[in-house]
Every structure is written in structure tokens, then in C-alpha cells.
Amino acid sequence: MDTIPAMRTRALALATSAVLLLQPVVAVPAAAHSDVLVIGHRGAAGYRPEHTVASYSLAAQMGADYIEPDLVSTKDGVLVARHENELSTSTDVAAHPEFAGRQTTKNIDGWDMTGWFTEDFTLAELKTLRARESQPELRPANTAYDGRYQILTFQEVISLAQRLSRQLGREIGIYPETKHPSYFASIGLPLEPALVRTLNVNGLNRRGAKVFVQSFESDNLKALKKQLRVPLIQLVWDPAQVTPDKLREIATYAYGIGPHVTMVINWTEDGSLGASTGLVRNAHRAGLAVHAYTFAVENQNLPTNYQNRFTAYLKAYYRAGIDGAFADNPDLAVAARR
């Protein structure tokens, strides 16, 4: 189970009434369309099972500026790229009889979840699993790649980005997200020390490194601010998180915000795309960049007035002034910049 859909539903409901007012602090100029960063969301999750070597590689080949690993921990404290610490949605763990006894129910960030959890597996055990498409009803073509790919460590994602950079002749950035950081700290497997250590050993904890670090939580970002020299992105899902005061506070530790798309442009009650909420303007006035999530081509992910018009939808957001787009279809997000 995932907490994000519930967050999105709430954001959708609240975004329609979001009107933000903020006085200038240090304004960020609006990005030209050509400058909008394209972040390969979980790689190129629209085309390949998420967080696999195939997904990340395709994203880079399609022109993404960054690839985005969500990070959780193994039992032995290794960061691995998975959207959830529960494994049954995105791997074949349920088909492994040797792990049947590990199925359990836990409360993760307020949600009861039944399944298999990364923190109950060593890295060596996780490596025996294979990834599969996490949304097979939405993306049946991607199931052709089920069973082909291992779970990647964060280090392997960095090494892959470096290899792809050499192959493509341009630097592929990384955009890691800490998933459930308070939960992992509570079970003695904090994500942040391994994150900092891995960036350090790869020479990526420095100004100018092509790295963003993101989190839905703020306490860990504030702590990371003291240890990292790369920009931080505060993910937000609720308009109440981006009041003028909150934006000013976020600007004390973060480079930018990562809002749900409905917080940037209203999705009206009938499901159509409405008017700008003013969030981009107000975030820029607070000195914050805006990297919105998540753009995906399927009509289920589009407003009613943009069905089958994904490029026009992307361009509406580019015109609204976003600085970055988390995209499941990075090829289309890159093309829409032109």
C-alpha cells in the first residue's frame, strides 16, 4: 500500500482553493521552457519496470537530465532503489517459497501494510529477487520485462549514471529520495548516514555536483543540510505546506520544493485542468525552485481536458513556470521543451 495516492487525493481537494500570497525575498527567475529539468521518474517508469537498470538507462537515453532513485534500506543497512519498502508490488518476492515466512504486517507511517519488507532482507537475499511492473493494469506492455532485472543498490545507480554519462557524452544527474526516513530511523536503519557516505565516496557531496536530494519529511532534510553541499528539495503534497510562512521557512534549508502537479495548476472538481494556483510565482519569490511531480502520458493521469494531449499538458506546466518535471515518459517531457 502507498501513502502517496491518499496524499494526492487530499492535495487535489485542497488545491482548488489554494490562493497564495507572498512578498518577494530573493526571486528565482521563471525558467525558459528549454531550461526545465527533466527528471526520469523512477527511471523511465512509463516504459520499463521502475528503478531497474533498464528504466534508468532508457531515461538517460531519452534525454533525461536526472534519474531518480527512491531509497530504502536493507536489513544490513544498504540503500536500495525501491519506491516502497514493501516488496510484493514491484518484485517477485511472493513467488519465492524460501521467503514465505517473512510475510508480515507492519504499520508504516500510519498505514497498515502486509507483505515483505526490505528491512527484513539482507542485500544478498534481495539480489535473488527480480523486479516486475508495479502497475500492470496501467502499463501491461511493461510486464514483458518482468523477471529480468535485479534490485539496484544506490551505489549501483550512481555507477550506472556515471557509465551512461560517459556513453552519452553528457552528465546524467542523480536525484535520490529518502523514503520513510523516520520509520527507518525508528528501526535502527537510518537512511541518512548511508546516503551521505555514498555521496562522499563518489565525490558527489560538493557544490556543483549534478545531484539533488529530496524528501517528503523536513526534519531529515534540515539535518542533511548540515552535512551535504548539494541542493535539497522539500517534497510537498498539501497546499497547507506552502503558505507564505511555510515557503519562507522551507527556503532556510531547501533549494526548492517538489509539489504534486495539482498544487501548481488547479484540477477542478470535474477533473479538468483549471487555473494556476500561483504557487510557482510565490515559491520563486521566496527563492525556491519548483520541481513538480509526476507527469505520465496515460489518460488516467491526465485531466479531462487534456486527454490524449500529453504534450499540451506538459507545456501548460512549462508555461506556468516550473523549473523541473518528474516524468514517467522523459522522452515526451524532453520533446515538449522544444
Please give the full DSSP string across 129-164, using - where no structure is assigned: S-B--S-TTT-GGGGGGTTS-PPPBHHHHHHHHHHH
Compute the least distance from the CB of residue 88 to ligand G3P, in Å. Answer: 17
Site string for Ca ion, 67-86 (x = CB under 5 A): ---x----------------
Compute the least distance from the CB of residue 229 to ligand G3P, in Å. Answer: 21
Which of ligand G3P, Ca ion, none has residue 286 at its interface (CB below 5 to 8 Å by kind)? none
Can you say whether residue 76 is alpha, beta or left, with left for phi > 0 and alpha for psi between -120 and 50 degrees?
alpha
Please, is 227 exposed, middle or buried when counting C-beta atoms within 10 Å of its C-beta (0-12, 13-18, 19+)?
middle
Q: Which residue has the cell 495516492?
A: 5
Separation between Cα atoms, residue 108 and residue 1, nearest integer Å: 9
295 lies in the binding site for ligand G3P (CB under 6 A):
no
The residues in 77-96 that bind ligand G3P, with binding defined as CB under 6 A, are 83
Nearer to ligand G3P by C-beta: 42 or 281? Answer: 42
Compute the least distance from the CB of residue 234 to ligand G3P, in Å. Answer: 11
Site string for ligand G3P, 214-243 (x = CB under 6 A): x--------------------x--------
Nearer to Ca ion by C-beta: 4 or 223? Answer: 4
> Residue 307 corresponds to which cell in the numbers above?
486527454
The answer for residues whose C-beta is within 8 angstroms of residue 193's C-beta and 6 or more apart is none
Compute the least distance from the CB of residue 294 to ligand G3P, in Å. Answer: 6
When computed from its CA atoms, the radius of gyration of the chain, rounded to whole angstroms, is: 19
Compute the least distance from the CB of residue 263 to ligand G3P, in Å. Answer: 12
Residue 90 contacts residue 163 (beta carbons within 8 Å) = no
177 lies in the binding site for Ca ion (CB under 5 A):
yes
**Strand ranges, E, within 242-308:** 256-259, 265-267, 273-276, 289-295
Q: How many residues bind ligand G3P (CB under 6 A)?
A: 11
Nearer to Ca ion by C-beta: 133 or 177? Answer: 177
Amino acid at 324: G
Residue ranges that bind Ca ion, judged by CB under 5 A: 70, 177
Residue ranges that bind ligand G3P, judged by CB under 6 A: 4, 41, 70, 83, 177, 214, 235, 258, 293-294, 326
